[in-house]
Structure 1
Amino acid sequence: MKALCWHGVGDVRVDRVPDPAILDPKDIIIQITASGICGSDLHLYDGLTPTMEEGDIIGHEPMGIVVEVGGEVKKFKKGDRVVVPFVIACGCCFFCQKQLFSACDTTNPGADLQKAAMGQAGAGLFGYSGMMGRYPGGQAEFLRVPHADVGPIKIDSGLSDEQVLFLSDIFPTGYQAAENAGIEAGDTVAVWGCGPVGQFTIQCAWMFGAARVIAIDHVPERLEMARVHGRAEVLNFQEEDIHNRLIEMTGGRGPDRCIDAVGAEAHGTGSLDAVVDRAKQALKLSMDRPHALRQAIMACRKGGTLSIPGVYFGLLDKIPVGALVGKGLTVKSGQTHVQKYLGPLLEMIDGGKIDPSFVITHRIPLEAAPDAYEKFRKKEDGCIKVVIKPGMDTAQVPA
């Protein structure tokens, strides 16, 4: 089959690789019909994610048609249409029983690597390095899905692939980010980052009762999407002092809930901390640029909540822990427990409460994925969200 493989920093290629096979009776094989390129995939592309190896198949936002079924699978049969969560969970361990699926104790063959880096290991993830289990990812023609009865959700309705695809990651991630923020009716919520996760976080903040949502970014197309689709007040950090504006907009108090949907590659515009972050990352002295996280801590009101869906990898410099403790902030973070949310969020889509396809700006065949990564990274051509459709006619791709 053809699959998108990592070959080094800034180097992903469509290679011919062996087709996946049933390795365990709990597995299914799906033929991919759609797969997203996630902002987290750019961390792989930029070389920030440790334990990647040349030839790793990437991608963790897949859906498709079941073509093979292991002997112990009960929920699915050939021909079923499914969305696959990026988290691989067993459903039986201590953490899965508590619906903490991304903390699954049994599905990560790279657990020792992750324990060395983080103290304890989480679940295996599709297409995301040796530390996360080195499971082949979903930017490919076919995918093996372990623990099938625990992971995928079957799509029985006539909803399009584009409407349900993001149940695999970014819609549940935005929802969990808003949930973790502890939003109460009447709150002002500030969201750093208007990429796809940020867009869904904005949507979900309203669901939890926010009275105001303020979105922060610098890419015009992202800000416009947040304003039009997200009904958010928008701030461009290249044009305004974000801290001062947030304090001013909230009558001197600061936002009640602050959400960092940026993560490891935050941009900054000349501030000393942002300059130092970039220099240290360039010199391989740090994997992360936590400028947005620092801003969120400093801006959040006393007794407020900080939610962190953005991905970080290592030790962060100059985090204002004094402000975090002194203001009594609550912090919640973590990989998304996707399986917990699949049913309820599918009901929202089916009921017409949200159409997640609004974030899609580019649709491409698998062969065009390397160019799409570069376009996405450089934020060219209004690129916010790319969906790969294996088998799509290359003639359908805009020049």
Structure 2
Amino acid sequence: MKAMTYRGPYKVRVEEKDRPRIEHPNDAIVRVQLAAICGSDLHLYHGLMPDTRVGHTFGHEFIGVVDEVGPSVQSIKVGDRVMVPFNIYCGSCYFCARGLYSNCHNVNPNATAVGGIYGYSHTCGGYDGGQAEFVRVPFADVGPSVIPEWMADEDALLCTDALSTGYFGAQLGDIVEGDTVVVFGAGPVGLFAAKSSWLMGAGRVIVIDHLDYRLAKARDFAHAETYNFGEYGDIVLEMKKTTDFLGADVAIDAVGAEADGNLFQHVTTAKFKLQGGSPVALNWAIDSVRKGGTISVVGAYGPMFSAVKFGDAMNKGLTIHTNQAPVKRQWPRLFSHIQNGYLKPSEIVTHRIPLEHIAEGYHTFSSKLDQIIKPIISVNAN
């Protein structure tokens, strides 16, 4: 089969790889139709994620058609059109039993924190991802779901991570009616977090980024107020000014250790940009939220040696909620919102790229060229 493979930092290409096979009775093989490049894939692309091995296939957002199933699989069958959450999880361990699918204890030998993730290095289990013609799907009875007949392919694709993570970010904010919510980052997850904040009763939603075209999308898609932090000497001061010097009720960090920068860079001033790679956005969130407020962190962080203002968070009495999204737990409510017209996830898609041109897609996304927001990959479209 053809598959995207990692060859080193900033080097990916499409190569011939062995077609995956059934390795366990509960496996399925999915023939991929659509995949996506996620902002967190850029951490891998830039060589910033530990134990990303040459030959690894990325891609944790994908949908497709079931091509083969193991003898014990009962919930899906060959020919089913399925969407696959980015979490790989067993469904029966202590954590899965509590809905913490992203923290499954049985799918990753490195599972001191995160469970398994498709196409996200051996730190996350070493599973090949969906930027390929075929992908092995373990625990096929608990992960993939048949796509509802009424749901468009691109909408289903975005439910596998970006929409679910953004919605989860708003959930973690414990938003109550009338709250002011500030979202750091206007990438796909930030856009969905902003949009979802309205669904949870927010009275005001503010999005902060440094790219004007992404901020324009935040205004158009998420109906948010926007600030370009590059135009202000101190964005935290601006947030205080616009909230009667109290601060926002909720801050959502949809940036994480931004993939454009160096995860180990020590940032000592808020004048550094989000792409600095240290917890700049997280510290801005701590400073921007009011005393007694809530911070939600769904941006991806790797190893960091830069200081988080935890003392300030403690002294302000902040509540901090974090995690990788337990994707499938979000689907029933998201499906309802999509079917009722409150959400149209595919509105954020800007680029549609064939698998054979995926290297150009990564370059365009990494360099923020051509006003790119969300690129999707056509694999076996027929």
TM-score of the pair, normalised by structure 2: 0.95
Q: How many residues align?
A: 376
| Ranges in structure 1 where 5+ consecutive residues have no aligned partner | 115-119, 282-287, 394-399
1:249 to 242, 255, 264: 242
Partner of 1:348: 337
Deviates more, 1:253-262 or 1:319-328: 319-328
Change in Cα spacing, 1:276 to 1:174, as seen in structure 2 (3 Å) is closer
2:173 to 172, 181, 206: 181
Please tell me whether residue 368 in structure 1 is matched to residue 360 in structure 2. no
Please tell me whether residue 168 in structure 1 is matched to residue 160 in structure 2. yes
1:313 to 288, 302, 320: 302
Q: In structure 2, give the amino acid aligned to 1:221.
A: Y
- The C-alpha deviation readout for 1:117-141, integer Å capped at 9, x for no partner, is xxx2331110001111100100001
Output the CA distance in 1 between the equivalents of 2:305 and 2:296: 16
Output the CA distance in 1 between the equivalents of 2:343 and 2:98: 28
Q: In structure 1, give the amino acid aligned to 2:190.
A: G
Please tell me whether residue 336 in structure 1 is matched to residue 325 in structure 2. yes
Aligned-residue Cα RMSD (Å) equals 1.9
Among all aligned residue pairs of Structure 1 and Structure 2, give the percentage whose two residues are the same amino acid. Answer: 44
Deviation at 1:177, TM superposition (A): 0.5
Partner of 1:33: 33
Hey, which bits of structure 1, 4+ residues long, moved more than 4 A?
Answer: 274-279
Asked if 1 retains the 8 angstrom alpha-carbon contact of 2:34 and 2:380, the reply is no
Partner of 1:139: 131
Asked if 1 retains the 8 angstrom alpha-carbon contact of 2:274 and 2:280, the reply is no
Partner of 1:385: 374
Change in Cα spacing, 1:339 to 1:243, as seen in structure 2 (3 Å) is same
Deviation at 1:57, TM superposition (A): 0.7
SS at match of 2:291: coil
- The C-alpha deviation readout for 1:139-166, integer Å capped at 9, x for no partner, is 0011111101111111131322112111
Partner of 1:296: 285
Output the CA distance in 2 between the equivalents of 1:153 and 1:391: 19
Partner of 1:323: 312
SS at match of 2:231: coil
Output the CA distance in 2 between the equivalents of 1:244 and 1:9: 37
- The C-alpha deviation readout for 1:71-101, integer Å capped at 9, x for no partner, is 1111111111111001001111111000010
Equivalence map 1:1-399=2 (5 Å): 1-108=1-108, 110-111=109-110, 120-240=112-232, 241-265=234-258, 272-273=268-269, 288-391=277-380
SS at match of 1:244: helix
Asked if 1 retains the 8 angstrom alpha-carbon contact of 2:166 and 2:193, the reply is yes
SS at match of 1:134: coil
Output the CA distance in 2 between the equivalents of 1:190 and 1:275: 19
Deviation at 1:344, TM superposition (A): 2.3
Deviation at 1:273, TM superposition (A): 3.1
Output the CA distance in 1 between the equivalents of 2:358 and 2:270: 30
Q: In structure 2, give the amino acid aligned to 1:248.
A: K
Q: In structure 2, give the amino acid aligned to 1:374.
A: H
| Ranges in structure 2 where 5+ consecutive residues have no aligned partner | 262-266
